[in-house]
Chains A and B, each alone.
Chain A
């Protein structure tokens, strides 16, 4: 059930990216191009997503178990450190170069787009570079807290 729910969430996420136009890198770059002909669509995508998301996270706030009985595993760190900011800046540069972030990269790969597959391969290589650098720093590194 847990795995099936995970597939469903990914599937619905992918449909949302397609409907919203965010699976189209040209449209994402149109949002990031403030000085050009600016397409504000991405801001409304975020607004729509956060409106629904906020209700769900509020519903789950005090709960210890999900509706499937699984434990709720939400990150609790609140400290804004250099690692978070620098990592996000590096991500933003890559995002600005191609207009592709991890979700759309997988959707693009699913369309069979050669450019999407190349981007995905490079992104996975980037994940491995991260793991390699982390392992060299601390032999038993804890996984980075997510979000």
Chain B
């Protein structure tokens, strides 16, 4: 392992992380819920009366953030090198896996770890480990 000091952005990572934490805080303090994106979006796959508008609003908030940002300033660098077929496979796996696992990086990784939920800590370790292993296989076994 070698640290990519030129890519490492500690200040913006910590500040951006704190903003993400503030969003999760806002959501639990006002709405009383876990800010888990996969669960909020996934709940719309089988919509139930009275349970739709807050989900749509949260999703629209996420979509609106880069739009509002773009109106005021240039968006930060966003690079997707993954090919279309792999993106489709990845999206399907994320869509199925997060629902079975009951959460993703936000619900388990941020909110669940914040409240020291043993389920969320286990889920976070599992998806991190699978992510590390997948990138290792793709970049260092297949890609090399």
Interface size for A (C-beta < 8 A) is: 119
Q: Summarize A's interface: helix, strand, loop or mixed.
A: helix
> Which residue of chain A has the shortest Cβ distance to B65 in the bound complex?
A14
Please encode chain B, from 116 to 141, with 1 for each CB lying within 8 Å of some chain A CB and 0 for all others: 11111011101111111111101110
- Given A40-B3, A51-B21; A90-B32 close (CB under 8 Å): no
Chain B positions within 8 Å of A, measured between CB atoms, are: 1-4, 7-10, 12-39, 41-43, 45-46, 53-55, 57-70, 75-82, 84, 86-120, 122-124, 126-136, 138-140
Give me the 3 closest cross-chain CB pairs, A-B, nearest first: A126-B95, A20-B16, A10-B61
Q: Summarize B's interface: helix, strand, loop or mixed.
A: helix
Q: Are A88 and B108 in contact (CB under 8 A)?
A: yes
Q: Are B21 and A49 in contact (CB under 8 A)?
A: yes
B13: contacting residue among A45, A54, A103, A113, CB under 8 A = A45
- Given A33-B139, A41-B10, A46-B113; A16-B62 close (CB under 8 Å): no
Chain A contacts of B4 at CB under 8 A? 30, 36-39
- Given A45-B16, A147-B36; A27-B30 close (CB under 8 Å): no
B78: contacting residue among A20, A24, A70, CB under 8 A = A24
- Given A25-B82, A30-B4, A84-B122; A18-B65 close (CB under 8 Å): yes
Task: List A58-112 residues whose CB lies under 8 Å from chain B.
Answer: 59-60, 65-68, 70-75, 77-80, 83-103, 105-111
Task: List A7-32 residues whose CB lies under 8 Å from chain B.
Answer: 7-27, 29-30, 32
Q: Are B36 and A146 in contact (CB under 8 A)?
A: yes
Please encode chain A, from 118 to 147, with 1 for each CB lying within 8 Å of some chain B CB and 0 for all others: 111111111111110000000000011111
Q: Are B91 and A118 in contact (CB under 8 A)?
A: yes
Query: Nearest Cβ in chain B — how far from A51, in angstroms?
Result: 6
Chain B contacts of A16 at CB under 8 A? 16-23
Q: Are B19 and A12 in contact (CB under 8 A)?
A: yes
Chain A contacts of B93 at CB under 8 A? 90-91, 93-94, 97, 126
Chain B contacts of A11 at CB under 8 A? 23, 61-62, 64-65, 68
Query: Nearest Cβ in chain B — how far from A98, in angstroms?
Result: 4
A102: contacting residue among B69, B98, B139, CB under 8 A = B98
Chain B contacts of A89 at CB under 8 A? 97, 126-127, 129-130
Q: Are A19 and B30 in contact (CB under 8 A)?
A: no
Q: Are A111 and B75 in contact (CB under 8 A)?
A: yes
Apart from A33-B136, A71-B32, A147-B39, list 8 A-B contacts with CB within 8 A.
A9-B31, A21-B76, A25-B81, A38-B2, A56-B25, A70-B32, A85-B101, A87-B100
Q: In the bound complex, what is the Cα–Cα distance between A50 and B113 (angstroms)?
A: 7
